């Protein structure tokens, strides 16, 4: 059983060294690349203003975020949810840079979890093709119509679906194998099992007489007449009609 966490963040900007902060974290738990239904999601008060370019991306204002906890207050519960599981992140360098800065800022060790970068994975699998989350959803026909703006949890949920496709999809052959094993292990129900039993019956004297008469006709003049046609002679009971040619 392999546990992974799909993770996404939203921020106030592009670089934590310039004072930008995380404002939202969304996580989706996977077991064997399939969502379990367990998620982690929180908004975070960045203790600063929200630049217009960032607001245009995710729509989270400083006023809205003011009532939510600061990063220090959610750090422990985030670590508890992540455990030591591999993290699946799109453009992982961006999110890990911010997470490292936030944990360092509250005196916590930076994360040492293994990281799977789905951006790199997509570029390796489809070199030269667009590899944004939106474009990958379109490629794999994943419905992202509910995503008007970026959001950490919805993006993590979409990325979980994309990640499964990047790994090869739902692998229908495995399902077929499982069904075959299930069928082989199922007990046999005698009532549902069709048995082929030879039919035993006798025919009447009249039926036998008709059969004998038919047999004599087959072996008699009729057969001989048609046999003579094959030898070039005319049949005893008239000749076959010639086909009409236009």
Say how many residues make up the chain: 246
Neighbouring residues of 56: CB distance < 8 A, sequence distance ≥ 6: none
CA-CA-CA-CA dihedral for 140, 41, 91, 128, to nearest 10 = 10
Q: Is residue 90 among the annotated active site residues?
A: no
Rounded Cα distance, 116 and 89, in Å: 6
Instruction: Answer yes or no: are the C-beta atoms of 147 and 118 closer than 8 Å.
Output: no
Angle between helical axes of 205-219 and 221-230 (0-180°, round to 10)? 30
Rounded Cα distance, 28 and 32, in Å: 13
Rounded Cα distance, 70 and 78, in Å: 13
Per-residue tokens: 83: 């455990």
Strand ordering across the sheet containing 3-11 = 34-43, 22-31, 3-11, 87-89, 115-117
Per-residue tokens: 102: 């936030």
Catalytic residue among 41, 58, 150, 177: 150
Instruction: Answer yes or no: are the C-beta atoms of 19 and 51 closer than 8 Å.
Output: no
Rounded Cα distance, 152 and 98, in Å: 14
**Residues with active-site annotation:** 150
């Amino acid at each position: 059983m392999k546990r992974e966490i799909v993770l996404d963040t939203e921020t106030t900007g592009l670089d934590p060294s310039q004072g930008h902060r995380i404002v939202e974290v969304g996580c989706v738990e996977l077991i064997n690349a399939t969502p379990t239904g367990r998620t982690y999601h929180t908004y975070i008060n960045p203790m600063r203003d929200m630049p217009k370019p960032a607001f245009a991306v995710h729509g989270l204002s400083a006023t809205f975020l003011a009532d939510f906890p600061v990063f220090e207050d959610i750090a422990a519960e985030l670590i508890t949810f992540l455990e030591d599981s591999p993290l699946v992140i799109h453009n992982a360098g961006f999110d890990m840079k911010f997470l490292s800065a936030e944990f360092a800022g509250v005196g916590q060790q930076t994360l040492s979890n293994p990281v799977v970068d789905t951006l790199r994975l997509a570029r390796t699998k489809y070199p030269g093709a667009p590899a944004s989350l939106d474009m990958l959803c379109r490629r794999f026909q994943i419905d992202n119509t509910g995503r008007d703006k970026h959001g950490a949890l919805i993006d993590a949920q979409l990325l979980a679906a994309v990640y499964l496709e990047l790994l090869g999809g739902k692998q229908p052959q495995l399902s077929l194998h499982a069904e075959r094993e299930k069928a082989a292990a199922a007990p046999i129900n005698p009532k549902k099992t069709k048995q082929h039993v030879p039919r035993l019956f006798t025919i009447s004297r009249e039926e036998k007489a008709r059969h004998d008469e038919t047999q004599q006709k087959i072996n008699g003049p009729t057969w001989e007449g048609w046999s003579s046609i094959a030898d070039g002679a005319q049949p005893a009971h008239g000749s076959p009609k010639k086909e009409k040619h236009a």
